[in-house]
Structure 1
Amino acid sequence: MEERPHVRYSALSSMQEDHRDRPLKDRRGTTTTSSAHEDLRYRFELHEDVPWKSIALALFLLAFGSLFLVISHFIYTEHMGGDSSQAYGFLVLGVLLFLPGFYETRIAYYSWRGYKGYSYSRIPAY
């Protein structure tokens, strides 16, 4: 008989017997096999619906973020009138709008093109 190494809290899964085909009894006393039993708490299904509202929001954020970044550049280089504080304000707003818009638009584009590892389920649906 093979001796098991000392395990302080619980046995390692590789050291235990395979209990998948052992019959189980539920509360009613009926016997089922554990391979037929599925715990629904751990079931996860990806929905492949296209989140149109989220994509529209991402395009909106991308467009206005780009616009604010261009305005910031024009104010800073004095092609438009304004203070440098206004340029920094537009710069901050442009970055805050551009980054999430670009990120979600990129995921939507790669999902549409069918790249490996990208799916519409990675975009939050609103």
Structure 2
Amino acid sequence: MMPSRTNLATGIPSSKVKYSRLSSTDDGYIDLQFKKTPPKIPYKAIALATVLFLIGAFLIIIGSLLLSGYISKGGADRAVPVLIIGILVFLPGFYHLRIAYYASKGYRGYSYDDIPDFDD
């Protein structure tokens, strides 16, 4: 025969514990858990993306002018590295600025959470 369970804190056997029924309107949820908090805008990351975008665009323009011969007659040996660096700097800046723009306009599927935040 098993011993009866007791509530150790009060010493009351569990068979004598009174239970109360929850109200029928309480489904266990509260309204606050469904409210969205306003998005935190990562200003530093957007500023960095803007700087990358501008530097990349500048390097692409300079590289294309070098390649076409308008700046100097150095040829492709100077122009190609400048173009490659310009493209590598331009792409992340453009990508994050596009996400920031779409998030600011409220497009579906875009949010400021997709941009890495440097405030940690």
**What band does the TM-score fall into relative to the shorter chain?**
0.5 to 0.7
In structure 2, distance between residues paired with 1:121 and 1:46: 12
Partner residue, 1:117:
109
Q: What is the TM-score with the length of structure 1 in the denominator? A: 0.62
The structure whose residues are more often helix, as a share, is 2
Separation in 2 of the partners of 1:76 and 1:46? Answer: 50
The aligned runs of 1:56-71 (5 Å cut-off) are 56-71=47-62
Select the residue among 79, 84, 91 that pairs with 2:76: 84
Higher Cα Rg, which structure: 2
Normalised to the residue count of structure 2, the TM-score between the two structures is: 0.65
Equivalents in 1 of 2:37, 2:91: separation in Å? 26
**Counterpart secondary structure, 2:96:** helix
**Percent identity at matched positions?**
40
Q: Is the 8 A contact 1:111 1:120 kept in 2?
A: yes
* Contact 1:61/1:98 (<8 A) preserved: yes
- List 4+ stretches of structure 1 deviating above 4 A: none
For the aligned residue pairs, the C-alpha RMSD in angstroms reads: 1.9
Shift of 1:120: 0.2
Q: Tell me, in whole angstroms, the C-alpha distance in 1 between the residues paired with 2:95 and 2:116.
A: 12
Whether the 8 Å contact between 1:46 and 1:121 is mirrored in structure 2 is: no
Residue 102 of structure 1 is aligned with which of 94, 115, 118? 94
Q: How many equivalent pairs are there?
A: 84
